Copies of this chain bind each other. A is one copy, B any other.
Amino acid sequence: MKIMLRQERGKRDRVLQELLGRTDHPTAEELYLTLREKGEEISLATVYRALRSLAEEGLVATLPIAPADRFDPTTRPHYHFHCLRCDRVFDLDLPYKPELDRASEKLGFSVYHHTLVFHGLCPACQEKTRRVE
């Protein structure tokens, strides 16, 4: 007989509750420090684990802000496709749409440019997935 999923994952829930109460997109360490300040006894490792599992289950999202570890020789603005299966990134031959900036400028932001990434399956991985099923 299978063991049921434990409902009592106290620390994980505390991490989730803390994150739900904020709008500043914190890192694992920032959440950890806040929780400790609030008197919660929790370890940094648990915060990392909690966030990872919450993100895997889709209860929490990670930010789509650019990291600096992969480079693109094309500086002309263009969009990307990110394959969730093979992790490759493709340059897309689509027109850049500066008019998208207008909407956020109406909210008071001064927009220099934007980045747009589509996530899904590339043609090769669609093929592979089809064969497996």
* Contacts from A to B (Cβ < 8 Å): 16, 19-20, 22-28, 31, 51-52, 54-55, 58-75, 79-82, 84, 88-94, 100-101, 103-104, 107-123, 126
A70 & B63 in contact (Cβ 8 Å cutoff): yes
**Other CB < 8 Å A-B pairs besides A62-B70, A62-B72, A116-B117, 10 of them?**
A19-B71, A28-B71, A60-B71, A61-B74, A62-B67, A63-B67, A63-B72, A64-B64, A65-B82, A114-B117
Interface SS of A by simple majority: mixed
Complex: how many Å from CA A62 to CA B81? 14
Q: How many copies does the complex hold?
A: 2
With a cutoff of 8 Å between Cβ atoms, the chain B residues found around residue A22 in the complex are 73
